[in-house]
Amino acid sequence: MSVTRIIHVPQYFLAKSRSVVHLCSHPHVSMWGLSRWKHSNAQRYKAVIFDMGGVLIPSPDALAAEWELKNCLRPGWIWKTLVSGENRVAWDRCMLGKLTFEEFVEVVTADQTPDLLKSYLQAIVSQQNYQIPETRDVVQCIRAEGLQTAVLTNNFWCKGQSFLPVEKADFDVIIESCREGISKPNPAIYKLCLERLRVHPEESIFLDDCGLNLKQAAQLGMNTIKVKDRATAIQELESVLGFPLLGYVHGTQAVRKGMEIPTDRLKEYLQTTLGLSSTEPLTLRQFIHGQSNPTYHVQSGNRQLVLRKKPPGKLLQSAHAVEREYRVMKALSAMGVPVPRTLAICEDPSVLGTTFYLMEYCPGRIFKDPTLPGLTVSQRRDIYTSMNRALCKIHQVDIRAAGLEDYGKYGNYIERQVRIWTKQYRASETHVIPTMEQLIKWLPNNLPTHEKTTVVHGDFRLDNLVFHPDKPEVLAILDWELSTLGDPISDVASNCLAHHLPPKFPILKGLKNHDLIEFGIPSDLEYLTLYCDNMGINPVENWNFYIAFSFFRVTAILQGIYKRSLQGQASSAKAETAGKLTEEVAELAWVFAVREGFQKFKSIPMKNPTPPVRKYSTWSRQSSSTASSLHHNSRQMVSVPKGHLIISPDGLPAPVQELRLKLTAFMDKHIYPQEQELLDHQRAENRWIPNPIMEELKCEAKANGLWNLFLPLKTDPGIKYGAGLTNLEYAHLCEVMGRSLHAPEAFNCSAPDTGNMEILVKYGTETQKEQWLRPLLDGKIRSCFAMTEPQVASSDATNIEASIVEEGDVYVLNGHKWWTSGAMDPRCKLCVFMGKTDPEAHRHRQQSMILVPMDTPGINVIRPLSVYGMEDPPGGHGELIFENVRVPKENILLGPGRGFEIAQGRLGPGRIHHCMRLIGYADRALQLMKERVKTRVAFGKPLAEQGTIMADIANSRVEIEQARLLVLKAAHLMDTVSDKEAVSEISMIKLVAPNMALRVIDRAIQAFGAAGLGSDYPLAQFFGWARALRLADGPDEVHRAVVAKLELKR
C-alpha cells in the first residue's frame, strides 16, 4: 500500500448522518461538510414545512366527497356542517386541544343524519389515514441535501394521543395545534415553527392545501406552495429547490455538482455490457458515503446497481485505486466472503471520463448506531456475532488461492503503518500534542513480534456492513478502499474502537459507559475472544497495543483534518472542535498504551531468578531512580517477574516507582505544608463544611495522575476504573499516603469510599455503577457503610438487627446504626446499608446489602460520635436512625441474602489499606521522633544518645519492618493466590499493624514530651486513629480467633 493511498480518510470519518461532519482527502472535496452538493436554490432555503392533512396524508375533503356521493348529499355538506354553528366552536376547541376528538364527535350536531357525520369522523382517524409513501421520499430527499423538514398541523387529541399518522423521525420539528394551544392561521404558530427550526421566514417553504393558511404564511414572508394535486406540488417544489425529490435510496443524495455522469453514455454501456434495456429511464443518485471515490446508485427499471468511479480531474498517482477494490471484491466473492457482486469494470476513460466499476446494489439493513436501537438483547448479540464471523471470513481467505499474493506486502504491517501515519501526522502537525509525542516513541518500541498476514479490510466496522433485512446475516461488506495484506488483529481493533468512544462522540457513536450486558452486546474483550475462538488462534496478549495503535491512526487522520480546517473555510468553532477531537483521541490512544505497559510488566517471566537487591536500611529513602517519565521507560525498566514479593520500592516496576516518586513529591509539596491548616479546619466551627483546600488538593492530585490508585488489578482486570496496580504495588504507595491523615482523601483513596467502590465494581450492575461508582471515582460524591448497631455486638455481623422488608417494588428499611463513618459529610450521597431480609434463613443468608441514596426520606442523623474527642469532620462517624426508608428493589446488591458474602468480599483489599497506612503512621512517627531527639538536650547530652531512647528507636524500627513485611506478604498473597486463601495473613496483619503503630507512636510521643500530646504534631491524632483501628476493622480478638482456628486446623 502506498503512502498516497493511505492518506485517504477511511470511511470511519465520512459523514453518516446529517449531524456528522463530512470529511474527505480528495482535492475537490473540502472538509467539515463544506463539500455538500448544493444547488444555488437549495442554499437559499433551509427548511421545508409541510401541512399534514391533504399534504402528507390524504385530504379529509376527498373522503368527505366520497361519502357525500355515496349518501346522496350535497357536495361540501359534510365539512360545511362540521364547521358551522355550534360545531364550529367545538371544532376550534378540538384543534386547540381543549376538547378531545372523541368529545368533539359526541357534541357534533346536524339537522339531519348526525350519525353519518359521526361515522365519517371515525373514518378520518381510522386506517384510511397514513402517510402517502411518495411524501416520505420527498422528505428524505430534502433531508439528504441538508435541509430541515417540519410538520405544521392543525390536529387534535384522539385515543389519548395527538393525531399524527406520519413518520415522526423524518422531521426535525413537529408543531401540533392541539399541543401548542394555537392553530393556523394564527401567525404565532408559524413563528413558533420558524423559531424551533431556527430559520428566517424567507429561508422556508411552506406547503398546505388551504389558501387561508398559505396566505398567512406568505404575509409572514415564507415561500408557499399550494397543494392542489400532489404530483404538481412536488414538481413545483423540485424546481424551487433545484434537486429531485423522488427515488430516494437510503444513504444517498442528489448527484453533486461536478460529479455528474453523462447518462446517455452510461445507458449505452449498460446496454452493451449488461444487456439492460435502453428504453427504461435511468435514475442516478449519489451515495453520501464514499466521497473520495464518488459512488452512485443507478436505477434502470427494476435493476439497481452501484457504480463507483475515480473522481474527475488530476489525481494523485496510485490514489483512488478503484481497480484494487474491484479486484479484491471479485477475488473474495469467489472465496465465499460476503461482498457485493461485482459486474464489470471499465478502464476506458472515453466512457465516463475515469475508470469505474459496477456492482449489484445490495438492499438490507445498515446499522449506524452500535447500540442497535430497536433490537432485542438476543438480536443484538446475534448481529455482533455475525459481524465477528464476517470478519473471520475475510481473515480466513487463502491469499494464494484467491490470487491475491501481490495485493500487499508480507509481514511488518504495523511497523509500516506506524511509520506512515507518523509521517502523515508530522506533515499536518500544527502544534505539539504531548501524548502524540509519547505515542510516536512508544509504538515502535512495542510492536507486535508475531504478526500474521491475511487480507485486511482496513476499515472494518458495523456501518460498513449490509445485514439481511430480517436475519442476523451479513450480506455484504462494503468499502474496500483501505484493504491490503496485513495484520488481521488491526482489523479487530479498529472494529472495537466504538467500544471506547463515548455515545455522543461527534464522528462515530460509541458504546462507552453503556451497560453492554443489558444491551446484549459483547465487550471488546469478549468480542476479541469470540474472534480468537472462531479463528482457532491463541488469545491476543497485546490487545491494548492494537487499540492504542488504532486510535493513534485515527489521531493522525484527525490532525490532517484539523490542519485543513484551519487552512480552509471552516468556521473557527468547527476548527476548534476538530482540534479538540484530535487531542481527545490521542489521549485515548495513550490510555491504552499505558494499559499495555502495565500489562506487560506484569506478565514478563523472570529471566534472572535473583531478586532485586534491596539496599539496606533505606526503606523510606526515596529511590535513586531518575526515570523521567512513567510511560517512556515502562518497557526498558520492566524487571519484576510475576509472583515475586517486592519488599522494597526499589524493586517495583518502573511505572510504579515513578508513581511513588510522584506521590512522595506531592506529599512534600502539597500535603505536609498544609496539614496544620487542614487540622485547624477540623476544629473550627465550620468543620462540617468540606474544606476548599481539600478540593484543590484533589484537583491537583487528579491532574498528576495520582487518583484512584487503590482499586486492585484483580478486581478491575480491564483497568476500567482504577490504575491497574496490584495490591502489593499499592501497599508501597498506600504507606506513603498513610504518612499524613489528610492524604488519602486527596487521592480519592480513603475509607469508606474505597471499600464501597470496590463493592460496586465487584457486585454492582451497570446502572448502579453509572449512578454511584462513576461519581465516587470522580470524587464528586462520598459514601458511607452502615453495619454496626448500638444494641448488638456488631463484631459478629450475624447479630445485625436492622430489617429490609420487601413491599411491592420497594424495600422498606428500619434500623439503628452507629459509627457510620462519612455519614455527616454533606457530599455523602450513598449509604451501603446492611440489614436482614430473611431472619429465618441460614445465619449467613439472612443479611443483605442495599444501596440507599442519603436523601431518601426517613434517614435521621442523630449525632456525630468522637474518638478521644476527635470527630473526624466533615465525614464524621454518625449515629443514624433509619425509619421506614423506602428504596427501589433494584438497589439491592447481588440479591437478597447475599450481604454476608459481600461483607466477606469487602474485608479484602479495602481493609488491609488501613494496615498499609498504619505502617506510614508509624514510620512518620519514628522519623519525627528521630529529628526531635537529635535536637533536644537533657541532662547534659542529646536525647538521641540516651540509652532508653536508642532502645526505643531500635525497637520501633524492628517492629515497623516486621509489620511491613507481613502487610506486603498479605497483599502479595491476595494478588497471587486469593483473598480467601490469604485470610490468615489478612487477620494477622489487622492484629499486628494497629498494635505495632500504637507502640511506635507512643514511644515517639514520649520522646516528644508534652508536645507529643498536643496538636502541633500529628502524633496524638495518629495514636487516636491507630487505637480506633483495633476496633474499626473488627476487634483484635476476632482476628486472633480467625488466626487461631486456622492454625489449629493445620
Ligand X SMILES: Cc1cc2nc3c(=O)[nH]c(=O)nc-3n(C[C@H](O)[C@H](O)[C@H](O)COP(=O)(O)OP(=O)(O)OC[C@H]3O[C@@H](n4cnc5c(N)ncnc54)[C@H](O)[C@@H]3O)c2cc1C
Q: Name the residues that contact ligand X, by CB under 6 A.
A: 752, 785-788, 793-795, 819-821, 867, 877, 1028, 1031-1032, 1034-1035, 1037-1038, 1041
User: Which lies closer to ligand X via its Cβ, residue 245 or residue 1028?
Assistant: 1028
Residue 913 Cβ, how far from ligand X at the closest point, in Å?
14
User: Which lies closer to ligand X via its Cβ, residue 488 or residue 738?
Assistant: 738
Residue 956 Cβ, how far from ligand X at the closest point, in Å?
24
CA separation for the pair 562, 784 (Å, rounded): 46
Residue 752 Cβ, how far from ligand X at the closest point, in Å?
5
Residue 826 Cβ, how far from ligand X at the closest point, in Å?
17
Q: Indicate the pairing of strand 356-360 with strand 303-309.
A: antiparallel
User: Which lies closer to ligand X via its Cβ, residue 603 or residue 795?
Assistant: 795
DSSP helix/strand/coil, 864: strand
Residue 775 Cβ, how far from ligand X at the closest point, in Å?
19
CA separation for the pair 433, 583 (Å, rounded): 7
CA separation for the pair 27, 9 (Å, rounded): 12
User: Which lies closer to ligand X via its Cβ, residue 76 or residue 790?
Assistant: 790
CA separation for the pair 775, 780 (Å, rounded): 5
Give CA 25 to chain center in angstroms. 29
Instruction: Find out whether 701 and 748 touch, Cβ atoms under 8 Å.
Output: yes
Which residues, at least 6 apart from 932, have a Cβ–Cβ distance to it below 8 Å? 943, 1004, 1007, 1008
User: Which lies closer to ligand X via its Cβ, residue 443 or residue 849?
Assistant: 849
Three state DSSP letters for 10-42: CHHHCCCCCCCCCCCCCCCCCCCCCCCCCCHHH
Q: Which of 507, 481, 491 is nearest to 588 (CA)?
A: 507
Residue 1027 Cβ, how far from ligand X at the closest point, in Å?
9
User: Which lies closer to ligand X via its Cβ, residue 67 or residue 763?
Assistant: 763
Residue 991 Cβ, how far from ligand X at the closest point, in Å?
12
Which amino acid is present at 694? M
User: Which lies closer to ligand X via its Cβ, residue 117 or residue 885?
Assistant: 885
Residue 465 Cβ, how far from ligand X at the closest point, in Å?
52
CA distances from 301 to 266, 280, 281, 305, 821 (A): 14, 5, 7, 11, 76
Residue 375 Cβ, how far from ligand X at the closest point, in Å?
44
Residue 641 Cβ, how far from ligand X at the closest point, in Å?
38
263-288 burial code (b ≥16 CB/10 A, e <16): eeebbebbeeeeebeeeeebbbbbbb
User: Which lies closer to ligand X via its Cβ, residue 527 or residue 900?
Assistant: 900
Phi, psi of 613 (to 5 degrees): -75, 125
Residue 793 Cβ, how far from ligand X at the closest point, in Å?
3
Helix (H) or strand (E) holding 1048: helix 1036-1049
User: Which lies closer to ligand X via its Cβ, residue 575 or residue 918?
Assistant: 918
User: Which lies closer to ligand X via its Cβ, residue 941 or residue 1049?
Assistant: 1049
CA separation for the pair 491, 830 (Å, rounded): 42
User: Which lies closer to ligand X via its Cβ, residue 631 or residue 990?
Assistant: 990
User: Which lies closer to ligand X via its Cβ, residue 510 or residue 835?
Assistant: 835
511-523 burial code (b ≥16 CB/10 A, e <16): beebebeebbbbe
Residue 770 Cβ, how far from ligand X at the closest point, in Å?
24
C-alpha cell at position 340: 457485493
DSSP code of residue 978: -
Which residues, at least 6 apart from 1002, have a Cβ–Cβ distance to it below 8 Å? 1023
CA separation for the pair 830, 782 (Å, rounded): 7
